Chains A and B, each alone.
Chain A
Amino acid sequence: MKLHDTAIKTGQQVEITGFTGEDILRERLHEMGLRVGSLITVLGKAPFGGPLLIRFNTSFLALRSEEAACAQVMLK
């Protein structure tokens, strides 16, 4: 499944299994510190269906759905 999948509930932890999508987005995700094997906690969504809020280690990130769609994940 993809990171923005609605089946992933708030507070759920997922692991990144791969990347797809635009090169520039993927490169930025890596620069932000995400890689295959990164463990991510989904914290919820901003109002009006805004960006997805995630935490990994000590970092917090807000991602639009299109951006989150670049990350393939599996439930932990």
Chain B
Amino acid sequence: MRSSDVEVTVEEKCIALVGAPNSGKTTLYNWLTGSRFKTVNYPGATVEFSIGHLASHLGEGLMAMDTPGTYSLHPKSADEWVTLRSIYENPKVEKIDGIVVVVDGTQISRHLQLVMQLKETGFPMMVVITMSDLLRREGVEVDLAYLSQTFGCPVLPFDGLLAGGLREIVAAAQKLGSSKTPARPVPWGFELQEQKLKECERIAQEALRHKTDHAQERLNRIVATTEKLDRFLLHPVFGFVFFILIMGGLFASVFWLATPFMDTIDGWFSALGEQVATMGPGTLWADFLANGVVASFAAFMVFVPQIFILFIAIGLLESTGYLARAATLIDRPFSALGMSGRSFVPLLSGFACAVPAIIATRNIPSTKDRLITAFVVPLMSCSARLPVYALCIAFLFHGQSALYAGLAMAALYLGSIIVGAIAAGVVSKFIPRKEPSFFMMELPIYRRPKVRVLLRQAWTRTLSYVKRAGPIIFTFAVIIWVGTTFPNYQTEDAHQKLEDSYVGQMGKFIEPVVAPMGVDWRVGVGLISAFAAREVFVSSMAVTFNITDTDEDTQQQALLTQMSTATNSAGEKIFTVSSVIGLMIFFLIALQCMSTVGVQIRESGSWKFAIMQLVVFNVGAYLIVVAVVQGLRVLGVP
């Protein structure tokens, strides 16, 4: 995967933003680049470096690079390695002209260590003190001139809420640059490190004392709220209750808030489909547009609101500071499964998409913990599975209370967590531990979320998701439409046309394999197409069942009607309670996403690991589904 498709021109300077996790780097980066960063910025923390041009209203000739948070230039986890490499041997830019060290204004003494380390390498640099809005509210003023004099580089304030100080930062960054090659960082050793830390504390004290009376007391007031909140949110008993309520609320809101938007989008596409169909009744091209293109995109686009809201929710947890607490709460139960609390963020991101989630495992320092987490991530029900679940649930609880549907969805998500826990427990027995697993998590001060940054981040993430899925969906729409229409396209009888088609012939060939799952060859075709992208299953069902020929109000309604009447060659119903439950279980377990396999190979560095996972998940899913469907039928479930 490319980390950026931004072109770097010769005259342009490139500056790197480096800082500790939660120092406000990504917020600064967002303001600096405005809408001009083309990078995929995944949910969860920054794990890839990303490069963007300066926002046009700020000027030209400067590129900014965001890097994963790091405490030092002596990396201890894979994402910290990314930061080091991105400033020393960046594959995208010839050289980094300067470094902007981002320092959290409430944590100056700790973060100055990184400033000192970078100073020693000789990189042209400047320092940005963030959270200046929080400091100002408590009447804390930092002597920036003193810091600038001490470190011999510009030191500027930045207010992430209103972007105050942005222009000055850009002006100073434009001036950075040097012809000298920076030296590699030299580790300090414990004794020197403690001395340096003491020195940093002294400098920070001075910088605060010069302009603020009772500086430490005022700073303590900033963190007092956090301490009070944590007394509840990290309480030995209630902490977990809050955790479950917050996570439950998150997933519930994803479904409830999205419903009206989904209905609207569904309405648009049905209107569009009808419009297209009436433009050329009976012609091949109108059939292609309506039953091929519109139907496939409708089936997928309907779920974009849910994906967007899920991204907002994850961003909200991250930017308020709760995500680190959630990781802390879950550390103990997760370590029993061979993972760590740090596995929480990747696993939560896995509910949006497994690809960035697997990349996010870089934040886990121990190799064993990281491998287990990466192994389990694809079992978390990603947003691409939502369309399939939603369709199956709509079929099962058609016309009944929305409560049942909600409970069924909750059961599926809970099911994916349980299956994931079992898989983690099993696989942890097979991976040897080479180094100590460590957790050590900084709990950032609770902050009010920055709505603007949050919305824009969620929007770019959703957009990049849609852009990535779009071409695949279009390609498969064409393939499946052609495959289901030809060669016998003149036949009036739709059923006959499909049976004789190329897809029909292929489906018949694989029918013996899918039959034990209680479905017929048409579903088999859908299952095969789902290997391109899971959500394609719904659109290929829409195409194979020819939904626009019916006169239902909405596209989904039409598909449900078709499903409930569909029969196999023996005249038995295909979609019954047992076969639909089987389908959901199949999608819950099977690893059908080739992008996931690709990123797994890259991140684990092992083909064996990725291929083994692919085989185990798919064969396992198939066998479990066959057992469940046949078992249910024995018990008399239709």
Identify which of residues 20-76 in chain A touch chain B, using a CB-to-CB cut-off of 8 Å: 22, 24-33, 35-37, 43-51, 53, 55, 57-64, 66-67
Contact B72–A31 (Cβ < 8 Å)? yes
B interface SS class: helix
B71, B223, B436: the one within 8 Å of A66 (CB): B436
User: A67–B237 Cα gap in the complex (Å)?
Assistant: 23
- Is the Cβ of A64 less than 8 Å from the Cβ of B442? no
Q: Check B332 against A25 for contact (C-beta < 8 Å).
A: no
Do A53 and B328 have beta carbons less than 8 Å apart?
yes
Pick the interface stretch among B142-150, B163-171, B214-222, B466-474.
B214-222
List the B residue with the shortest CB-CB distance to A37: B198
Contact call A53/B223, Cβ cutoff below 8 A? no
Contacts of B222 in A (CB 8 A): 58
Cross-chain contact of A44 among B109, B236, B341 (Cβ < 8 A): B236
Q: Tell me if B267 is interfacial: C-beta within 8 Å of chain A.
A: no
Closest to B194 in A: A35
Q: Are B328 and A50 in contact (CB under 8 A)?
A: yes
Question: In this complex, what residue of A is CB-closest to B435?
Answer: A24
Please name the residue on chain B nearest to A45 by beta carbon. B236
Q: Are B436 and A51 in contact (CB under 8 A)?
A: no
The answer to whether A57 touches B109, judged by C-beta atoms less than 8 angstroms apart, is yes
- With A33-B109, A50-B332 in contact, do A43 and B439 touch (Cβ < 8 Å)? no
Instruction: Please tell me if the beta carbons of A31 and B71 are within 8 angstroms of each other in the complex.
Output: yes
User: Does the CB pair B436–A22 fall under 8 Å?
Assistant: yes
How far, in Å, is B132 (CB) from chain A's closest CB? 15
From B107, B194, B219, name the one whose CB has the most chain A CB atoms within 10 angstroms: B194
B442 touches A32 (CB 8 A): yes
Interface set, chain B 206-239, CB cutoff 8 A to A? 216, 219-220, 222-223, 226-227, 230-231, 234-237, 239
A67 → B minimal CB distance (Å): 5
Using CB atoms, name the residue of chain A closest to B110: A33
Query: In the assembly, what is the distance between CA of A45 and CA of B239, in Å?
Result: 10
For the complex, give the distance between the alpha carbons of A22 and B74 in Å. Answer: 16
B441 neighbours in A (Cβ, 8 Å): 51, 61-62
Interface residues, chain A, CB within 8 Å of chain B? 19, 22, 24-33, 35-37, 43-51, 53, 55, 57-64, 66-67
Query: 10 additional contacts, CB 8 Å, given A30-B194, A32-B440?
Result: A24-B438, A27-B190, A27-B193, A28-B76, A32-B110, A43-B231, A46-B332, A48-B240, A64-B331, A67-B438
